[in-house]
Chain A
Amino acid sequence: MNLPAGIRNYSYAQDMAIFRTRTQWVMLGLLLVLLITVPLLFGNYWLSIFNIIAITIIGAMGLNLLTGYCGQLSIGHAGFIAVGAYTSAILTGQYEVPFLLGMLGGGLMAGLTGVLFGLPSLRVKGFYLAISTIAAQFIIMWVISQWGSVTGGFVGISVPAAEIFGYRFTSPLSKYYLILAICVIAVFVAKNLARTRQGRAFVAVRDNDLAAQVMGINLFRYKLLAFFTGCFFAGISGALLAHCYYGFLNPEFFSFKESILYVGMIIIGGLGTTVGPIFGVVFIRLLERLISLELVPFLESTITVLPSGWASGVTPMLFGLVIVLFLIIEPRGLAHRWQLFKNSYRLWPFSY
């Protein structure tokens, strides 16, 4: 990590610390204060947007570990999220398991499902692996929709609200704090996981799996571990979607388009970085909402000479255009732009 001039490390612990300067701690404190006080400034609408952003960040963190760090391309992430969502919903709704255990159960089941569909990664990679993970999405959704006696099939199932020690999280405010807490834990875990022996092994596998194997890294173990970890995060994200966002599950909520968007989020954010998925998720989710929920009604009400409904067609065009332009202008992701900004701020007013 780049440090300001005059900062040195005197121990390994100091060298490994995530936050090392007073400025970094102050910034972290300010960020946490901002996140905690957000509900004082915004209504239910923006809270629900923050909630979906935080839930998506957890899922994207998992995909980033799998794809960004370990190089195993997965285009079936929404399927794994669905596994977590349904498992948690069934455990809590039908077997009356407490929410926290149900959520962990959802994560574990999604992780195991990920391991199952990660097995082809031992023989195939790149586009071929991508195709096998697409298959995972369709197989998972097919099982969910056909196993109606348990999952409610195409009609769907009701999901009980999250409840911890007798407190039910039903208001948007309480849901926000619960989701925020779990999201902060997930980001912290993902950040540290990337710096462990496993994380470094993931990077070695991503950069050159043959070289990694020669160095003694067990590809079988680490690829499947990456699938388990990535899908575990997806499962936790799914459980929160079920209990704290929808309150009802239906196979249509986990479309293939969502899986594609997840890949888009980590690419736009910056693969193989911790802040990348956060930036990517915020960018994509806000773009979706700002275009379809803010811009289109604004255009409709402002330009009244055209027939009503004309602006609806603008949404997909603008969404696609912004993403394409963004990838052309900043192909290394928002995390890279953020790094450039930090470096230039640190050196300013000098260029180098």
Chain B
Amino acid sequence: MENHYYPCITRRGFLKGTGMASLVLFIGGIPFLVSACGDQKETIRLGLSTPSTGAAAEKGQVLEHGNKDAIRYINEEKGGVAGYEVELVWMDNGYNASSMVNNVNKFMDSKCLTFGCSSSAMMTAAMTVANQNGFTGLAVYGAPVIYRPPQHIYGQMPDYGDDFVVFAQYYKDNLWNGQGKPTVAMHLLNNSTGYGAHDGAKAKAAEMGFEILEPVFEHTASTTSETTSLNSIRALNPDILYIASTPKPSSVIIKNARELGMTGGDMVIACGHAGMTKALVDLAGADVCEGVYGLFPTVNWDDEAPGMAKVKEYCQKYHSSDYGNMDYIASWCQSLIMAKAAELAVGAVGYETLARGGADAWKAYEDYGIKALDNYDVEGLQGPVSYTPGDNRMSKSLRVFQVQNGNINPVTDWIEAPVIEYEKFDWFGKK
């Protein structure tokens, strides 16, 4: 009879073997890990998080493209920052607050000097972690709650509250010819985008001689009809219908308002800068949007600003579907500003200090980069950027636009929005 040999494998033997194999693999792998970490280029790292998926993807993807193309432009044509290549650490946040918190931590661990964020809702999720660590953030679009009181989060542009204040001043100076106080009906997106504008109205409307009609109406980002709320607004007979929202809901409101015949008389429709983009005209239609006013903090695509040629070239080359979208310009500017501040910081404290990352690098970037920005023109693409103590809005300039023959044309030069110390109002941070 043939004898079969069966190896005797015990549990203890199995565990010993597995443990030894793991140890050998770990020790053997160390040289590979070390070699993989050793060969690294000298780069300036900037963090960026956009809502490229999720509820705000319509804006997030364009903003992502604008930033990435601007970094490509900085590296390819401007020789990077002070001779160092800019490395963009980009992360999608999916319009999810907990992902955004992780992203900020990732940026800090990755030795990024700063991070950019393109949504006020996401910046509210990120700001506590960033402020606690002294990590500078730059919000492309923002609500007052993000940087009042000022800490380590900066606004690339005026906020949604400034939109209202600047438009109110423009209206009073150029459009109002009635008696008494102009009345304003507000239709707000149900988040910080909408209520950021409301904060501006609460702070300044009475002082500027406007009456904000009650109730204030609100809508969701996914609204498909606002006829009910607009019927109520029609009964109030306002002089201004002010919409603080993103393009899609703004288009629904404007379409519904046209259908109800609300714009035949003297009533003016105005949109905050979150909604005043090409997407609004595309979604609502040029006829429907004709005459609508809006605010925006950058130039438009037909302006002959010095930097527009490159914006157009890169957009057509890499993301032609974004052509005409002003969000693309806004995010392009964001990257230019972050890079410019890095350049100033490198000049002041040297590359080594910044490359080490951590609290010292972030402080150096903030003190010698962001706070050293003085009248930086951003290649003429937006209002000049300067740091003013006590005011974390880096640019204070907005322009009033109007939809004319399907195009979004500027009707004013840059208008400077005043600083509003929201934190001094009892109601700030409340509805």
| A contact set with B: CB distance below 8 Å | 43-45, 47-49, 52, 145-146, 148-150, 152-159, 161, 170-172, 245-248, 250-253, 288-289, 292-293, 296-297, 300, 307-309, 312-313, 315-316, 345, 348-349
Residue from the list A45, A157, A316 in contact with B429, Cβ < 8 A: A157
Residue from the list A44, A153, A251 in contact with B109, Cβ < 8 A: A44
Interchain CB contact under 8 A, A348 and B128:
no
CA distance A145 to B65 in the complex (A): 33
Answer yes or no: B262 CB below 8 A from chain A CBs.
no
CA distance A47 to B188 in the complex (A): 37
Interchain CB contact under 8 A, A156 and B124:
yes
Residue from the set B93, B105, B192, B218 with the largest chain A CB neighbour count within 10 Å? B105
| B contact set with A: CB distance below 8 Å | 9, 11, 14, 52-53, 57, 61, 64-65, 68-69, 89-94, 96-99, 101-103, 105-106, 108-110, 121, 124-125, 127-129, 132, 143, 145, 188, 190-192, 194-196, 199, 218, 318-319, 429-431
Residue from the list A253, A312, A315, A345 in contact with B125, Cβ < 8 A: A253
Interchain CB contact under 8 A, A250 and B99:
no
CA distance A48 to B57 in the complex (A): 24
Residue from the list B14, B121, B132 in contact with A252, Cβ < 8 A: B121
Interchain CB contact under 8 A, B190 and A145:
yes
| Residues from chain A with Cβ under 8 Å of B61 in the complex | 309, 312
Q: Taking the nearest CB of chain A, how far is it from the CB of B125, in angstroms?
A: 6
If A45-B105, A154-B190 touch, whether A309 touches B431 (CB-CB below 8 Å) is no
Interchain CB contact under 8 A, B132 and A247:
yes
Name the residue of chain B whose CB is nearest to the CB of A349: B9
Top-5 shortest CB links A-B = A148-B431, A247-B128, A153-B431, A312-B52, A43-B109
Interchain CB contact under 8 A, B105 and A315:
no
Interchain CB contact under 8 A, A154 and B52:
no
Name the residue of chain A whose CB is nearest to the CB of B318: A307
Residue from the list A149, A152, A157, A250 in contact with B97, Cβ < 8 A: A250
CA distance A316 to B99 in the complex (A): 14
CA distance A221 to B145 in the complex (A): 45
| Residues from chain B with Cβ under 8 Å of A148 in the complex | 430-431
**Please, could you name 17 A-B residue pairs with CB atoms under 8 Å apart, sorted by A?**
A146-B431, A154-B218, A171-B132, A246-B101, A246-B125, A250-B97, A250-B124, A251-B190, A252-B97, A288-B96, A292-B99, A293-B91, A293-B99, A309-B61, A309-B319, A312-B64, A348-B14
CA distance A309 to B62 in the complex (A): 9
CA distance A49 to B105 in the complex (A): 9
A247-B128, A250-B97 given; name 17 further pairs at CB < 8 Å. Answer: A45-B106, A148-B430, A152-B431, A154-B188, A154-B431, A155-B199, A171-B132, A251-B190, A252-B121, A253-B97, A292-B53, A296-B92, A297-B90, A297-B91, A307-B319, A308-B319, A315-B94
CA distance A156 to B128 in the complex (A): 13
If A300-B90, A309-B64, A312-B92 touch, whether A48 touches B190 (CB-CB below 8 Å) is no
If A297-B90, A312-B52, A315-B92 touch, whether A247 touches B129 (CB-CB below 8 Å) is yes
